[in-house]
Amino acid sequence: MLSFVFRRIESRKWMVISLLIGNLLMIAIAAASPMYSRAILQRTLTRNLSDYYVEKNIYPGLIVLRGAYNTVLGKKKEEEFSKVLRAGRMMEELQAELGVPALYSVTQRYMNNVKALHELAVENRKNELTLRIASYSDQMDHLRIVNGEMYSGELDGHTFDVIVSEKTFVEQNLLLGEELELTRLTDASGNPYRIRIAGIFENSMPQDVYWVSWPTTWRDVCLMDETLFQELFANEERMSESFNMEWYMTLDYARMRGDQAERYLDVLDRYAEAFEDMGFNHSVYFTAVLEAFLLQAQKLNTTILILQTPVFILLAAFIFMVSRQILEMEQNEIAVYKSRGADRKQIVFIYLLQSLVISILGLAGGIPLGVLMCRLLGASNSFLEFVKRAALSVETGPKVWMFAGAAAFFSACTMVLPVIRYANVNIVAHKRGKNRKSRSPWWQKLFLDVILLGVSLYGLYQYYEQREYLMQKVLEGASLDPILYFCSSLFMVGAGLLVFRLFPLLMRILFLLGKRWWPPSLYVSFLRILRTRNNQGFFMVFLILTLAMGIFNAQAARTINANAEEKIRYSMGADVVLREVWKDNSALLYNGADDGGMAGQLELIYEEPDFGKYQMLDGVESVTKVLIDREVSVSVEGGRINNAMLMGIHTKEFGETAWFKDSLLPAHWYGYLNAISQNSRAILVSSNFQRLYGYEVGDVLNYTNGNGDGTRGIIYGFVDYWPSYAPVIRSMGRDGLYAEMDNFLIVAHLSQLQSSWGVIPYQIWIRTEGSSQFLYDYAEESGTKYALFLDTAAEIIKLKNDPIFQGTNGILTIGFICVLLLCITGFLIYWILSIQSRTLQFGIFRAMGMSMREVLTMLVNEQLFITGVSVAAGILVGMLTSRLFVPLIQIAYSSADQVIPLEIVSESGDYVRLFAVIGPAILICMFILGWLISKIKISQALKLGED
């Protein structure tokens, strides 16, 4: 049976190759999904933990367990000590259960508030000190003696050695070799212990995650030998009254696996409850990172799934189309098998074996292709744009094989599905079917196209009604409802079926209008299209869906990326926004106020840094001063408005430097700058202020800064948007919901503000000539310190590295490429098979006297009617779907600081790429078809008809 199947595959090798292409793409995309998700989320988790380290200055893999014990009598003492031992074992079990290697597992034993008396009185030195006696496991490997000597691990009478940090040594006024008496720490006989300051130590390495708190910051800690500490103060027979223990576990966060994050949290929660029951204080410093990561992972996985689903549907449609074409070519053979005694099960089994062979071959090649796709996804920077980025660590595991196997099984079912219809047709039924008038397909009788359009438009209407609610849910971290994406796919399918329903009617009208005048080639083309409309129906719908999906993907990706980048540029205001640390006389003011002297009556004066140095830097295109004050109060009728935003600018330099989208205001924003430039008192005010308080152009507005300095301005215009200004501020309340609050803006002249209020700290906005690296170099070389430094380019890079955006760009790009490939392949397959099935017809046309030119003209006419209408309809459906659904899909990528309105963005380059592929495909197809027709021999064609 297998040899028979392989012979069949060989006889239809080109069609089988087409099927194999579809299988490869489907399996590769299915396999790439879990591979990419796992790899990008792993990279994201590691980066998030690293960012936590930088921002919080706390090692993100740290787990701390703290316990305090008091000396008790009898059985209680034994229970307390056993609890200590059990806690240590549980920390080891926790690390083993997490499965993350630990860089260090440290146990600290210490006693707080240990009173130490001096035997010798020294000037300016207290007789009693409060110290902390401690010991760490393996501490000697992580410290270095800089003065004196290392402690001894032996007890000399009642004296033992300790070492201290330099800060402890200085602040406690200690001396090397000095002995202090510990009044409350005594042996079994009641004799107090003594400590000797043996040496001063420091960290053995500048950066060592072994130390949870840096020894350089210790002010009262004395370290002693660990074994001696346990022997004297922390054993079952004797426990100090102030004895405490801490366990530090420093996990290697780079080895944490993103796909295990949920399990990590479950394990940590379980142990946290156990430690709490024991009375321990348990701290995990990466729980918040893992919880935020899980929300991000859920959103990414949902995004990947819903973006890939339309591609899977299109691939299934392609495989179904090719399988159906093969079956139509083999319909005679199937009918012969049936007439010679083969039952339905045998015929289906033959094609099932054939489908399994193709699926297995697709599975073998699909996994490596999926790895390649995964790497392309990781290198995606924007739609159809790839950059050189650190390669993703791609792994193939059970989940990958499960996804790939499911895709292979689904593909095999798709290939076998058309067989069920043909496997029950014998030779008589086949001949009758060929001569039977074409009937309307079942979906037309059920008006499936109208139903799909109605369902999708109703879903769209419902989503638009709930737009604010959807945005609220997304801001809270939820993923956008996948049904919305499903509605967009339903709309494209329904629109494609509707076009096919109307296509025969359009052809019939055109045919009847010129029936008497059409030349033979055009007449025959009309008859062919009208009589075989059901045969080309699937191809037309497939071509419409292909183009519509390609355009929809392109516009969705461009819109998401462009709006996200514009939001960053708008919120920043310029390429770089910075503010140096300004020096002032505040220390003198405070000291004078405390002393009751004259200094308390001085004004706060700032020392303005040199602004001109930024104008001289290479790489600066333009630079301007911008004063931002968000604590301005405005006088209105009936009271005052607090926390308005004031922006002081120099109009010319501001216009040359700031980033602003021209379409955001009714007129070009330069017109507003020119208007206020005519009067030093002129101001611009936000439109929401006008709507709420009824002010008009020409009205006078009084406003005061946070220091109580007041001034006034004359309103010259109102603006809805302005660089870096947000008309509405969204903030999360205690209930977890986002609340909106109006934000009012006043734009005034900086020179006028400075003349009224004096020189106060302002921001410096810079437009660069390209890269902003020169500013980082300048800051490092000059040692300039900045209170504020915002880099638009860095934020955009951060956005493009975000797994949601990166995955979206990558999947839409891969989907777009697959769509183009399927479009070419499906186009060629349909027309080549169409020509091959019409060999007899072409032979008859040639025998009847039709020239080769007329035959080719007939094919060109069919191409124009079938392919041309499909291409035009696909473009129209794609653009209409984008117009309707992309604004809602964009909500999934919005954020709480989304200010400027979303716009649908399309680039002509995407259409050029699309038609640059379709156009040559049509031309190549025409040459192939012409070559096939030219090879037809009339005698063989006529003899074929006789047979």
Buried b (16+ CB within 10 A) or exposed e, 369-396: bbbebbbbbbbbbbbbebeeeeebebeb
pLDDT band at 421 (very low <50, low <70, confident <90, very high): low
Q: Are 53 and 62 in contact (CB under 8 A)?
A: no
Q: In 10 A of CB 22, how many CB atoms?
A: 29
At 237 the pLDDT is 62
Q: Would residue 473 count as lying in a domain? A: no
pLDDT at 436 over 60: no
At 118 the pLDDT is 65
SS (H, E, C) 237-268: CCECCCEEEEEEEEECHHHCCHHHHHHHHHHH
At 589 the pLDDT is 58
Q: In 10 A of CB 882, how many CB atoms?
A: 24
pLDDT band at 209 (very low <50, low <70, confident <90, very high): confident
Q: Are 221 and 164 in contact (CB under 8 A)?
A: yes
At 272 the pLDDT is 86
Q: Would residue 449 count as lying in a domain? A: no
pLDDT band at 74 (very low <50, low <70, confident <90, very high): very low
Strands (E), 439-494: none
pLDDT at 768 over 70: yes
At 923 the pLDDT is 74
pLDDT band at 73 (very low <50, low <70, confident <90, very high): very low
- Higher per-residue pLDDT: 944 or 487: 487
776 with 818, same domain? no
Q: Would residue 909 count as lying in a domain? A: yes
Tell me the average pLDDT across 908-916: 70
Least confident range of 159-173, 343-357, 909-923 = 909-923
- Higher per-residue pLDDT: 16 or 895: 16
750 with 772, same domain? yes
At 622 the pLDDT is 92
* φ, ψ for residue 436, nearest 5 deg: -75, 145
At 577 the pLDDT is 92
Cα–Cα dist 589/599, whole Å: 6
DSSP assignment letter at 864: I
Report for 518-527, 753-762, 820-829: range of highest mean pLDDT: 753-762
At 241 the pLDDT is 57
Chain centre to alpha carbon of residue 820: 26
Question: How many structural domains compose the chain?
Answer: 4
The set of residues, in sequence order, having a beta carbon less than 8 Å from that of 922 and lying 6+ positions away, is 827, 863, 867
- Higher per-residue pLDDT: 144 or 602: 144
366-392 pLDDT, tens digit each: 888 888 877 777 776 666 666 676 666
CB-based burial label for 442 (10 Å; 0-12, 13-18, 19+): exposed
Least confident range of 187-201, 429-443, 902-916 = 429-443
pLDDT at 547 over 90: no
Chain centre to alpha carbon of residue 583: 41
> Considering the chain, what percentage of its residues have pLDDT values greater than 90?
7
Q: Would residue 612 count as lying in a domain? A: no
The set of residues, in sequence order, having a beta carbon less than 8 Å from that of 513 and lying 6+ positions away, is none
At 657 the pLDDT is 92
Among residues 314, 361, 318, 136, the alpha carbon closest in space to that of 229 is found at: 136
At 784 the pLDDT is 85
- Higher per-residue pLDDT: 820 or 446: 446
Q: Would residue 503 count as lying in a domain? A: no
312 with 423, same domain? yes
822 with 939, same domain? yes
At 288 the pLDDT is 84
**Mean confidence (pLDDT) of the chain:** 78
Tell me the average pLDDT across 427-441: 54
Last residue of a domain, one of 263, 297, 315: 263
851-901 pLDDT, tens digit each: 777 777 777 777 778 778 888 888 888 888 888 887 776 666 655 456 777
At 75 the pLDDT is 44
At 496 the pLDDT is 85
pLDDT at 476 over 70: no
74 with 52, same domain? no
Last residue of a domain, one of 784, 803, 818: 784
777 with 828, same domain? no
Tell me the average pLDDT across 667-682: 90
DSSP lists the bridge partners of residue 284 as 63
648 with 743, same domain? yes
At 22 the pLDDT is 78
223 with 75, same domain? yes
Least confident range of 299-303, 334-338, 851-855 = 334-338
- Higher per-residue pLDDT: 69 or 57: 57
What is the residue-wise DSSP string for 802-851?
SHHHHHHHHHHHHHHHHHHHHHHHHHHHHHHHHHHHTHHHHHHHHHTT--
Q: Are 882 and 555 in contact (CB under 8 A)?
A: yes
pLDDT at 329 over 90: no
Cα–Cα dist 272/280, whole Å: 9
Q: In 10 A of CB 754, how many CB atoms?
A: 16
770 three-state secondary structure: coil
pLDDT at 823 over 60: yes
- Global pTM? 0.71
310 with 423, same domain? yes
pLDDT band at 783 (very low <50, low <70, confident <90, very high): confident
Helix (H) / strand (E) containing 102: strand 102-118
Q: Would residue 682 count as lying in a domain? A: yes
Q: Would residue 586 count as lying in a domain? A: no
Helix (H) / strand (E) containing 755: helix 750-757
pLDDT band at 314 (very low <50, low <70, confident <90, very high): confident
Instruction: Give the pair of three-digit tokens for residue 816.
Output: 């777009």
For the chain, give me the number of helices (H) and strands (E)? 31, 25
Last residue of a domain, one of 373, 401, 434: 434
- Higher per-residue pLDDT: 15 or 91: 91
Tell me the average pLDDT across 529-542: 70
At 766 the pLDDT is 92
263-296 pLDDT, tens digit each: 888 888 888 888 888 778 888 888 888 888 888 7
Instruction: Give the pair of three-digit tokens for residue 696.
Output: 């008009």
Cα–Cα dist 812/12, whole Å: 33
What is the bridge-based pairing of β-strands 745-749 and 682-686?
A: antiparallel
At 274 the pLDDT is 85
Report for 779-788, 798-807, 901-910: range of highest mean pLDDT: 779-788
pLDDT band at 40 (very low <50, low <70, confident <90, very high): confident
Q: Would residue 585 count as lying in a domain? A: no
- Higher per-residue pLDDT: 876 or 416: 876
Least confident range of 5-19, 32-46, 151-165, 676-690 = 5-19
557 with 650, same domain? no
pLDDT at 946 over 50: no
At 507 the pLDDT is 81
631 with 775, same domain? yes
Among residues 712, 715, 711, the alpha carbon closest in space to that of 757 is found at: 711
What is the bridge-based pairing of β-strands 159-165 and 221-223?
A: antiparallel
Cα–Cα dist 109/102, whole Å: 20
Among residues 837, 679, 870, the alpha carbon closest in space to that of 331 is found at: 837
At 138 the pLDDT is 85
Domain that holds residue 69: 61-80+99-263
804 with 915, same domain? yes
